[in-house]
Structure 1
Amino acid sequence: MKIGLFGGTFDPVHLGHLLLADQALEAADLDEIWWIPAGEPPHKLEKKVTPSMHRVNMVKQAISGNPRFRLCLTEVNRSGPSYTVDTVKELVRIRPDASFHLLVGADSVNDLPRWHEIGTILRLVRVVAMGRPGHDRRPLPEEVAKRLQWIPDAVETGISSTEIRRRLVAGKSVRYMVPEPVLRYIRENRLYES
């Protein structure tokens, strides 16, 4: 089984996330995508992040209509910073029969050589990068480049969680940026209010 691992803060999950995941299923010939909300994102320890319970519930709402999308709570159930290498090691241990493919956005590809224990990650998974028009592709070290599959024609929306939060704080509409059940959850739980 070929499984895509799609990790992120998902604060909140939005239609751009869903679009990229759906394209990755087809382009990388994956059987499933496992959505992995970050517990404590190490790159956001100084920033306010919505409690994981709410981020998990929003992802549940967003992916409920796709039988090939699964929720994976590996990171939120683990204490401490959520390093990708720890998640990958755990999932490979649990499912040694699976072939794992780590999904990353084009903006993260240039940072891969600086990821915590990138050599171990690359030994255990392939990386699927969702390219986008106008993205600056820098040369990568050979160990990264040979384990990287570019999906060059990914449709990218430009929607960002940061912009959604900013609009919600300002009382502006985010309709058509997040799935309707996610928007309902945000309103019911009064998330991202000023």
Structure 2
Amino acid sequence: MRSLFIEKKRIGILGGTFDPPHLGHLIIANEVLHALDLDQIAFMPNQEPPHKTRTSGTTESDRIRMLELAIKGNPFFMIERIELARQGKSYSLDTMIKLKEANPEVEYYFIIGADMVEYLPKWHGIDQLVQLVQFIGVNRPNYLLDSPYPVRYIDVPQMDISSTMIREKRKKSISIKYLLPDNVIQYIEENGLYES
């Protein structure tokens, strides 16, 4: 007899500017995927994050192409473009309401770094958002994993790599090798991204 119980698909959401995507992003995604035995990780580039302004000079298509290259060959990684379809600031609450409406059969796990765990009380609509997703906090150097909100913590290897640091190195013509996948570096160099 067939079971009437239908198991929900479990997807981790890793949001960010991914400007550029680097090995830190990929390691976090892989560690959470396996620690929670998720079906997929969706990398979700945002249009305009509420807490910072993008001034790198890259286009939306540059960021998508770099992400495609970064996750190439990993069948468990995908790109979720929902926030790029909207203009203005990207609020996670609005995004998750739309995703849940479109995919009611999916259970979402929202992955955030320790810097964002500390910032959670200031998130737009946080009380409603915690009803829609399970927050997954990952450690980052110099931040505490402490929040009044329900956050499940996953220990990941400490890598103090940031997109900002990579952009700064490019401006100063310092090597970025081993900080991001070679095919992403090649794209950055071929397109003259982040140069001064």
- So what's the TM-score if we normalise by structure 2? 0.91
Asked if 1:57 corresponds to 2:65, the answer is yes
Secondary structure of the residue aligned to 1:40 is: coil
Q: How does 1:121-132 map to 2 (within 5 A)?
A: 121-132=129-140
Q: How does 1:1-194 map to 2 (within 5 A)?
A: 1-45=9-53, 47-49=54-56, 50-132=58-140, 135-138=143-146, 140-141=147-148, 144-145=149-150, 148-151=151-154, 153-194=155-196
What is the rounded CA distance, in whole Å, between the counterparts of 1:134 and 1:125 in structure 2?
A: 26
Secondary structure of the residue aligned to 1:182 is: helix
The answer to which of 127-136 and 172-181 deviates more is 127-136
Q: Are the counterparts in 2 of residues 6 and 21 from structure 1 also a CA contact under 8 Å?
A: yes
Question: Structure 2 stretches of 5 or more lacking a match?
Answer: 1-8
What is the rounded CA distance, in whole Å, between the counterparts of 2:145 and 2:100 in structure 1?
A: 29
Give the aligned residue type for 2:167.
R
- After superposition, give the CA deviation of every residue in 1:140-193 in whole Å (9 maximum; x if it has no partner): 32xx13xx1111x31121111111000001001000001011101111111001
* Post-superposition offset of 1:34: 0.5
Give the aligned residue type for 1:155.
P
- After superposition, give the CA deviation of every residue in 1:116-144 in whole Å (9 maximum; x if it has no partner): 11112101000011125664244x32xx1
Secondary structure of the residue aligned to 2:12 is: strand
- After superposition, give the CA deviation of every residue in 1:18-74 in whole Å (9 maximum; x if it has no partner): 0010000011221100010011122223x4143221111111110111100011110
What is the rounded CA distance, in whole Å, between the counterparts of 1:48 and 1:191 in structure 2?
A: 12
Question: Structure 1 stretches of 5 or more lacking a match?
Answer: none
Q: Give runs of ≥4 in structure 1 deviating > 2 Å.
A: 131-138
Give the aligned residue type for 1:85.
L
User: What is the CA RMSD across the aligned residues, in angstroms?
Assistant: 1.4
Cα distance change on mapping 1:133 and 1:183 into 2, 3 Å: closer
Cα distance change on mapping 1:82 and 1:133 into 2, 3 Å: closer
Give the aligned residue type for 1:17.
H
What is the rounded CA distance, in whole Å, between the counterparts of 1:34 and 1:44 in structure 2?
A: 22
- So what's the TM-score if we normalise by structure 1? 0.92
What is the rounded CA distance, in whole Å, between the counterparts of 1:99 and 1:55 in structure 2?
A: 26
